[in-house]
């Protein structure tokens, strides 16, 4: 028997699949020999992926086919005797085993040179509910889930256009993870689309173990040391649909409840859905507030450290910002310890059971608040500014952007502590350099429309205009 093509002999096909799928070892791979129109047949499926009631009805239908009504080949069988919508024919073992392991119902009939694949699978999935991270004050409350077909349906529901494309690809030698590229045929950059397809096809990994992050690292291998995000991630189907309509490519990965949006500039990362669910003036205020707070989270602590080194530079009327208590620990070490402690608290909050989150939060607030100041480890001014930074970080929907700002802030703190004003300037220059030299996945400017300058598009990045077509 050809190792690549299936045989017309049912016994040979069953022997091959028995060894390939290890049906005697894998309890969840079910196979059953039946009679279809007087011929021997065998079905294969994954227990838990198939709907029991539907399988029962189809088996009853197959067994009721009379010998004189039996089609002569698989093609005719699929056209005249398949009581289901999603039916495919395959004769290549690689594709057949892939579909079986994906949960597709496979029917082999003695004398047929092709396998009949019936896509009646259903994956275990949670309800489509509002995502925990990308919440909005107003707007739709549905979010992506781990099942890729549900996610494509959420986008289709919002874009009812024949121009919308959902293209399926696969990656991972063992996992064979499903990847869907969503884009508008008439609006997407086709050169960039071809580039993304080729990169995915050339991925040589055993499995995308971390789903989207593994895919992101495979798609963008350059400038890994630059912390600023190259992709925008969202768990909201309305945000993904809006980006598709703007000509971007949305990448969905099976088993991941979020979408990757590319190409992404720094202005795209800062935007949120709430900007568009409120009137233009409110949306503009929210967007500008987010920009200003992001800048402040970077500058507050290094600037404070610099002013404590050079008290004579403190503006008149702001002398109250000086540290009044004794500094038992140098300010730079206080800031660095608190930067690490805040991440420790964040990790602890993620891993804390819900029933214990409230008492542990109170304990952490007491220990790291009043007691840490009274003990002499930290000064109250340092605690105040770090508390602002910790809270302000959550104004950004992108964790990647928050940590990028954090890393650059720590570098500025260290340089300021070592070299004073020149270290402070070097830290700011390094931040600007990291942003300016960063590139999108498509290779374009990360700060477009600031460079190259496009004033009309730049104004839209800062100001929320009325929707096109709105009545005056």
d(CA 114, CA 471): 59
Q: Which of 272, 303, 293 is nearest to 388 (CA)?
A: 293
Query: Interior CA angle at 204 toward 203 and 205, to 5°?
Result: 105
Q: Residue 364 above 80 pLDDT?
A: no
Q: What local confidence, expressed as pLDDT, does residue 54 receive?
A: 82
Structure confidence at residue 110 (pLDDT) = 95
Secondary structure percentages of the chain, helix, strand, coil, to 5: 50, 15, 40
Q: Per-residue pLDDT for 367 more than 70?
A: no
- In contact, 260 and 241? CB cutoff 8 Å: no
Q: Give yes or no for residue 407 having a pLDDT over 70.
A: yes
Count CB neighbours of 428 within 10 A: 17
pLDDT 10s digits, 408-441:
999 999 999 999 999 999 999 999 999 999 999 9
Q: Are 244 and 279 in contact (CB under 8 A)?
A: no
Give per-residue pLDDT as tens, 168-225: 999 998 889 999 999 999 999 999 999 999 999 999 889 888 888 889 988 987 777 8
Mean predicted confidence (pLDDT) in 153-165: 95
d(CA 444, CA 459): 19
pTM of the model: 0.89
Taking the C-alpha atoms of residue 289 and residue 266, their distance in angstroms, rounded to an integer, is 16
* pLDDT for position 369: 67
Average pLDDT over residues 382-409: 92
Structural domain boundaries of the chain? 10-118, 148-264, 280-437
Least confident of 26-40, 186-200, 347-361: 347-361
Strand, coil or helix: 328: coil
> 84 pLDDT band (50/70/90 cuts)?
confident
Helix (H, G, I), strand (E, B) or coil at 234: strand
* Predicted local confidence at residue 136, as pLDDT: 86
> Where does the pLDDT of residue 357 fall: very low under 50, low under 70, confident under 90, or very high at 90 and above?
low
Residues 248 and 351: their CA atoms lie apart, in Å, by 35
Sheet architecture: strand order including 232-234: 164-171, 177-184, 249-253, 259-262, 232-234
Cα separation, 108 vs 36, whole angstroms? 10
């Amino acid at each position: 028997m050809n190792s690549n093509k299936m045989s017309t002999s049912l016994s040979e096909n069953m022997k091959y699949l028995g060894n390939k799928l290890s049906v005697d070892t894998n309890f969840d791979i079910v196979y059953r020999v039946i009679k279809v129109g007087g011929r021997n047949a065998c079905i294969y499926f994954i227990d838990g992926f198939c709907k029991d009631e539907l399988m029962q009805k189809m088996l009853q239908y197959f067994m009721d086919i009379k010998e004189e009504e039996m089609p002569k080949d698989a093609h005719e069988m699929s056209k005249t005797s398949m009581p289901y919508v999603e039916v495919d024919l395959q004769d290549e073992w690689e594709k057949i085993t892939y579909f079986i392991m994906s949960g597709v119902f496979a029917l082999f009939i003695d004398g047929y040179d092709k396998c009949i694949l019936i896509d009646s699978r259903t994956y275990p999935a949670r309800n489509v509910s509002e995502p925990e991270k990308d919440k909005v004050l107003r707007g739709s409350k549905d979010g992506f889930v781990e099942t890729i077909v549900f996610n494509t349906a959420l986008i289709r529901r919002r874009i009812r256009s024949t121009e919308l494309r959902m293209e399926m690809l696969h990656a991972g030698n063992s996992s064979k993870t499903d990847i869907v590229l969503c884009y508008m045929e008439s609006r997407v950059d086709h050169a960039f689309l071809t580039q993304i397809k080729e990169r995915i096809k050339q991925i040589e990994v055993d499995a995308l173990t971390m789903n989207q992050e593994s895919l992101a690292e495979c798609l963008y291998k350059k400038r890994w040391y630059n912390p600023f995000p190259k992709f925008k991630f969202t768990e909201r189907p309305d945000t993904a649909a809006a980006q598709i309509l703007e000509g971007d490519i949305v990448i969905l990965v099976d088993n991941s409840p979020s979408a990757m949006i590319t190409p992404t500039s720094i202005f795209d990362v800062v935007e949120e859905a709430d900007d568009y669910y409120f009137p233009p003036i409110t949306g503009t205020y929210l967007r500008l507030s987010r920009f200003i707070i992001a800048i402040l989270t970077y500058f507050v602590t290094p600037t404070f450290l610099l002013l404590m080194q050079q008290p004579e530079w403190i503006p008149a009327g702001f002398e109250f910002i000086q540290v009044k208590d004794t500094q038992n620990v140098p300010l730079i070490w206080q800031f660095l310890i608190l930067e690490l402690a805040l991440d420790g608290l964040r990790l602890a909050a993620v891993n804390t059971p819900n029933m214990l989150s409230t008492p542990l939060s109170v304990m952490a607030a007491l220990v790291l608040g009043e007691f840490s100041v009274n003990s002499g480890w930290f000064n109250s001014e340092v605690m105040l500014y770090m508390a602002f930074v910790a809270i302000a970080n959550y104004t950004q929907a992108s964790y990647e952007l928050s940590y990028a700002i954090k890393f650059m802030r720590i570098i500025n703190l260290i340089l300021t502590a070592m070299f004073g004003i020149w270290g402070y300037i070097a830290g700011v220059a390094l931040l600007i350099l990291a942003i300016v030299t960063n590139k999108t996945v498509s290779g374009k400017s990360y700060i477009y429309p600031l460079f190259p300058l496009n004033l009309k598009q730049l104004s839209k990045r800062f100001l929320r205009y009325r929707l096109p077509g709105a009545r005056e």
